[in-house]
Amino acid sequence: AGAGSFLYLEDNVPLRAAGFANVNGLFEAHTEIAGRIEVIKGPSGAAYGANAIHGVVNVLTRAPSETVSFLAEAGVDTIGRVKGKGFASTRVGRHGLFGGFSVTDDPGFRADSGADLQKLSLRHDYDGGAFKVKTILAGYNLNQETAGFIEGQGAYRDLALRRSNPNPNSFRDARGVRLSSRVDVDVGEEATFSITPYARWNEMAFRLHFFPSQALETNSHWSLGAQNALYLDRAGWSATAGVDVEYANGDLFEFQSIPTVFSYTQGLHYDYEVSAAAVSPFASVSFFLTERLKATMAARFDYTHYDYDNRTSSGVIGRFLRPASRADDYSTASPKLSLFYDAGPTNFRASYARGARPPQTTDLYRLQVNQTADPAKAETIDAFEFGIRGSAGRISYDLAGYFMRKRNFFFRDADGFNVNDGRTRHLGGEAEISAALPAGFEFDGAVSFGKHTYRFDRPVLSLPQATEAIRFGDDVDTAPRWTANLVSRWAPAGSPFEAEVEWTFLDEYYMDAANASVYPGHSLVNLRGAWEITERATATVAVRNVFDKLYAERGDFAFGTERYFPGEGRVATFGIRIES
C-alpha cells in the first residue's frame, strides 16, 4: 500500500521505526501547531535514512518565544466539524517553554463516519551557551469511524450514494507518544557534537472492512534510539559524520469473528512479534570548487536486522500463510552527489541521489497462501535532478526536471503471489512562480508533469482481476500526469481585510494497472478570507469546493467494478483567532 515510501519526521526524528511504517502516518504528527513544515522531494536516504524513497516531510515544532505569547483558535463548518487549537510560550532565563494542543470533532459527511482526534505537544529549550538542549514530548489519540469505497460506474456523481457508507461497522483507533531530547555541545572551534536520544510508542486497532473477513487487526510498536553526529564548519568547507542506532519491537494480531467466508477462515489469522535493530553510519562534506560552485558529497549505510517470532502454529490456514519463526538481515547504501552554482540572481543545481528502505515487517511475515515466505529485497530508487531558481524584479521562480528509476518494488499481485522485483520509471518536471504585484496583490503558481510507468510485465491469471495485469510501459495506476495549483492573495497594507482564491487541478489517471479504466480528473476552487477585528482578534472564513463539484478523492477499479472515495461538496468554515 506504499507504507514506507515517504519518511515522516518530527524535528528530524522519524515518527516510526523503519519497518513499522504507517501509510497514513502523517496524522500522527502535530502539523496543526507546527512552527513550519519542510517538504523534501525525491529520495533523501543519505541525509535522513531508510524510507526516504519518494520524499520527506519534516514537521518542525514551534520554538519558544522570547516573551509571553499565546494563541487560541476555534472554527466550525457547515458539516458540523469543529476544530480548535492553542498554545502558550515564554522564556525564563536560560529556559524556553512551549505547550500546545489541537482537537478535532468531525461528524463526517458520509453515513456512519467521523473522527475525534486530540494532539498535545510540549517543548523545553535550555541555552547554556556552549551547551544546548531541546526536549520534545508529543502524543495523539484518534477514534475514527471509517467509510469505505462506494461502488459502481461514476458512483461519486450519485448524490445519494456518495453520502452512503457500505461499511458502517468499520473503525480505526490509534494512539501514540514520542519523546526526544537533542543535546548540542560545542567541542572546539566551529565544531559541534549532537546526540538525540528518543523513545516512541504506537498502537492501533482497526476493522479490515475492505476484506470479506471483516477481521479485527491490532498492532503496536515501541522503539528506542539515538542520533549521533559531529558537525564541522570551516572556512570554505563543512562536514558531518555520525551514526544512528535504534531498537524496535512490534506485534500484530488478526482475528475473524464471523463464520468462514470463502477461504477467509473464522478464528485466528496472525499472531506474531518482531524485534528490529538498526545501525546507520553516515557522512557528508560540502566544499567550494570555485568561488561560485559548491559541491556536496554524502553517503549513508543502513543495516537492519529483524527477529520474527510466530506466536501461533506455522503453515497455511485457509488463505493465510504463517511463516515459521526466523531472522532476516538487510543492508543498503544511499549515496548523494550535488552541485550548486550561484550566478547572482539565478542559481543552478544538479544532483544524483539514492533512496532505500528495508521491507516492511508486514511484507515479510503477514503472508497469504499464494505468497512465498522468501524474504523480499530492499527497495531502492535512483534519481537525477536539475534545477534553476532565480528572481527578476517582483517575480521569483523555481524550475526542476527529474529522472528516477525504482527497483525491487514489493507488492502482492492480483493472483496473490509475491512480486519482489517490481520496477518503475519516473520522468517529469515542475515549475513554481511567485509574483508580488501592486496594491497588495500576490500570486503563486505551481505546475507538475510526471510520467510514471511500469518497467516490467506481470500477467494475471484470475479472470475477474484481469484489469490488474501489468505491461511494460503502462502508466502506474492512480498516478496523474498533470497537477497544478494557483493562488491569488489580496492583503493591502494598512487594511484589516485580506482574501485569497485558490484553484487546484488534478489530471485524469488510470484506475487499474492495465490502464483500462480512467478517472477523468477534476479542478476545484477554494476561497479564504480574514478580518482583523482588533490587534489580537481575527475572524476567518473559508469556502472549500466553491462550485460544489462532484469529484472523487480517489478512484480505483477492482473485482470488476469502479470504486471511489467521494470528495466533500461545498463546505464553509467560520473561525476566530485570538493571539498575543
CB of 178 within 8 A of CB of 200? yes
Asked whether residue 129 is domain-assigned, the answer is: no
Asked whether residue 555 is domain-assigned, the answer is: yes
Of residues 374 and 383, more confidence is placed in: 383
- pTM value > 0.85: yes
| Residues 234-254 pLDDT 10s | 988 999 999 999 999 999 999
Asked whether residue 217 is domain-assigned, the answer is: no
Residue 258's Cβ-count burial label (10 Å; 0-12, 13-18, 19+) is exposed
Residue indicated by cell numbers 511500469:
454
At 152, is the pLDDT very low, low, confident or very high (cuts 50, 70, 90)? very high
Q: What is the average per-residue pLDDT within 85-93?
A: 97
Q: What is the average per-residue pLDDT within 349-377?
A: 85
CB of 197 within 8 A of CB of 180? yes
Inform me whether the pLDDT recorded for 373 exceeds 80. Answer: no
| Residues 159-172 pLDDT 10s | 999 999 999 999 99
What's the total number of domains in the chain?
A: 1
CB of 566 within 8 A of CB of 553? yes
Count Cα neighbours of 331 within 13 Å in the Cβ-side half-sphere: 2
Asked whether residue 556 is domain-assigned, the answer is: yes
Contacts for 438 with CB less than 8 Å, ≥ 6 apart: none
Mean pLDDT, the chain, whole residue set: 94
Asked whether residue 522 is domain-assigned, the answer is: yes
Q: Cα(first)–Cα(last) distance of the chain, in Å?
A: 44
| Neighbour count for residue 416 (Cβ, 10 Å) | 16
Residue indicated by cell numbers 536560560:
94
Contacts for 176 with CB less than 8 Å, ≥ 6 apart: 28, 139, 140, 200, 201, 202, 203
Q: What is the average per-residue pLDDT within 352-366?
A: 92
Inform me whether the pLDDT recorded for 342 exceeds 70. Answer: yes
| Residues 437-479 pLDDT 10s | 999 999 999 999 999 999 999 888 776 677 788 999 999 999 9
Inform me whether the pLDDT recorded for 575 exceeds 90. Answer: yes
- For residue 5 the three cell numbers come to 515510501
| Residues 389-425 pLDDT 10s | 999 999 999 999 999 999 998 877 777 676 778 999 9
C-alpha radius of gyration, the chain, whole number: 25
3-state secondary structure 53-97: CCEEEEEECCCCCCCCEEEEEEEEECCCCEEEEEEEEEEECCEEE
Choose among 464, 566, 559: nearest CA to 212: 559
3-state secondary structure 288-349: ECCCCEEEEEEEEEEEEEEEEEECCCCEEECCEEECCCEEEEEEEEEEEEEEEEECCCEEEE
Asked whether residue 301 is domain-assigned, the answer is: no
Cα 463 to Cα 428: distance, rounded to the nearest angstrom: 34
Task: Report pLDDT for 50.
Answer: 84
Asked whether residue 434 is domain-assigned, the answer is: yes
At 71, is the pLDDT very low, low, confident or very high (cuts 50, 70, 90)? very high
Per mean pLDDT, which range of 1-5, 63-67, 292-296, 472-476 is the poorest? Answer: 1-5
Residue indicated by cell numbers 514506507:
4
Count Cα neighbours of 191 within 13 Å in the Cβ-side half-sphere: 5
Distances, alpha carbon 47 to alpha carbons 29, 42, 282, 419, in Å: 20, 12, 8, 29
What residues make up the domain containing 411?
393-580
CB of 380 within 8 A of CB of 404? no
- Please count the residues of the chain: 580
Q: What beta strand segments (E) does 110-260 contain?
A: 114-127, 131-145, 150-151, 172-188, 191-207, 216-234, 237-256
Q: Percent of the chain scored above 70 by pLDDT?
A: 97
Distances, alpha carbon 110 to alpha carbons 149, 164, 173, 207, 573, in Å: 11, 6, 19, 18, 18
CATH number at residue 530: 2.40.170.20
Per 3-state DSSP, the chain is made up of helix, strand and coil in percentages (nearest 5) of 5, 65, 30
Contacts by 183-191, CB closer than 8 A, 24 or more apart: 183/131, 183/132, 183/133, 184/131, 184/132, 184/133, 185/130, 185/131, 185/132, 186/129, 186/130, 186/131, 187/230, 190/232, 190/233, 190/234, 191/230, 191/231, 191/232, 191/233
Q: What is the average per-residue pLDDT within 46-65?
A: 92
| Residues 10-51 pLDDT 10s | 999 999 998 998 888 899 999 999 999 999 999 988 889 888
Q: Which helix (H) or strand (E) segment is 47 a member of? A: helix 45-48
Choose among 33, 127, 138, 10: nearest CA to 88: 33
| Ranges of H-type helices in 353-401 | 361-365
Inform me whether the pLDDT recorded for 1 exceeds 50. Answer: no
SS3 20: helix
At 297, is the pLDDT very low, low, confident or very high (cuts 50, 70, 90)? very high
Asked whether residue 295 is domain-assigned, the answer is: no
Cα 449 to Cα 437: distance, rounded to the nearest angstrom: 27
